Amino acid sequence: MREKFIPIDDALIERVFQPLADTISYRIGLDRLSAACFCTDIASMGWILSQARGLSDAVLGLDASSAFLRLLLLLLGLVALAGLRTVFRRLSRANRANPLRLIMRPHRAVLLVMLGARLVNPNVLSLSGMADVAMLGSAGVALYLAACAARPPERRACAVQQPA
């Protein structure tokens, strides 16, 4: 599985998300990690919307244990997305190579499998199903944008002096 996913992952980064990151940077002025943070914020809103119906049904049904577990799940998801956003912000302040391309590969693989499984499910047409797909899609875009390398600096031609 790992050997089959690596070429797909690299192709998605190089052919889809690197040009997207360059376009966002050129047209809007956001660097790739700021755009990834924005996508993480959208994923957080999608997560809240996807969990709202189940939580409100549990509260209206006066099912305290189910309401507590759904609230706990909601908060756990929000903490995970906030932690991902924190990683992106810390990396944007660091002046070193981007480690997220290799480190986040398993996360991207699991997220793509979850997104594919969610799209196969016929319950996507509900509001919570669409919000769940939006959350997974936004989180996936955030992970891929963060994995893109920063645009390399332009090379300047310099005259090389020959020793006499």
User: Tens digit of pLDDT for each residue in 143-164?
Assistant: 999 998 755 445 555 555 556 5
**163 domain residue, yes or no:** no
Q: Does residue 17 lie within any of the structural domains?
A: yes
Q: Is residue 158 part of a domain?
A: no
State the Cα torsion 113-122-135-137 to the nearest 10°: 50
Q: How many domains does the chain have?
A: 1
The answer to the question of residue 134 being in a domain is yes
On whether residue 95 sits in a domain, the answer given is yes
**Domain coverage including residue 47:** 2-147
Query: Could you tell me if residue 70 is inside a domain?
Result: yes
Query: Do the domain assignments include residue 164?
Result: no
* pLDDT for res 161: 59
Calpha distance 38→79 (Å, rounded): 16
Residue 75, pLDDT score: 96
pTM: 0.82
- Give the pLDDT confidence score for residue 119 in this predicted structure: 87
Please tell me the distance from the alpha carbon of residue 47 to that of residue 49, in angstroms, as a whole number.
Answer: 5
74 confidence band (pLDDT: 50, 70, 90): very high
Is 32 inside any structural domain?
yes
